[in-house]
Structure 1
Amino acid sequence: MNGVPRAPLYLGLAGLIPFVWGAVTYLSDDLHAFGSQTFGARFVGPYVQLFYGSVILSFMSGILWGFATKTSGSKAATCYVLSVLPALWAFFMTGGGPVTTGFNLIVGFAGLLLLDAAFWYWGLAPRWWMKLRILLTAVVILCLSVGVYL
């Protein structure tokens, strides 16, 4: 992750904890039981991933909104419209059961990566942005896939 500032890198990696934890508690009955007893049933398996995933898509809408402020005119209008799509996706496409919601979040994070690439290409995101976003998105999609495909 050469070139990515430490604070965004470490915070981004820390932000993966609920996704990874959800995947491992889905795969391990012992960890699932420990997590349920220690943290509550909401904080294990797909439940933590799905809730947190919708929160993160909404958070990323705010990040893109911030990038949109760096431009003006019709390009700014386009960027503002694009920036709200991840939050709207999370709002409308979650809640249909764990497998459907997990799949929709995978699609949402893949779409977010395309938006990240567009904002980066337009020079609105930092130069290191895509290095970080590709790594984080790959881990998120892998972890969400555990609940969708296993």
Structure 2
Amino acid sequence: MLVSILYMSVATHEFGEDELAEMLAGARLRNEALGVSGLLLVKGGRFMQLLEGPAWSVNDRFTVIQKDPRHHSVRSLVREDIERRRFDGWSMAYRGLDDSEIATVEGFSPFLSGTLDFPPSFDRTSAAWLLKWFRDRDLVEG
């Protein structure tokens, strides 16, 4: 059985591009080993991530994420059973890189730039709405 979890959290400090790239590299290795795919958005000191994969793997990753000291206020927004992956091979969308850099780094996506949308099978779900909401808002600490 496959599941997906969409969560949001707040960074404990400002992440630089190098730290985000390092975090992505570690997450990709762990996620690939556990069969987890998804999308991580970083904007204005906030994270929103959709994880998908086998229930035990997604639950394990989310438990680890909840304990990660790099962020706080971790809130699960949507959890659902899914029939197939919607973001197979996706790991992170990140606005700080320009398009030429994105093209050379496996796992990065231009989703936050507004140039990429979701597959039709996902586009009308509550998780898709929340991810688009996150992309389109200026988020302030609070």
TM range (shorter): 0.3 to 0.5
Q: Taking structure 2 as the reference length, what is the TM-score of the superposition? A: 0.34
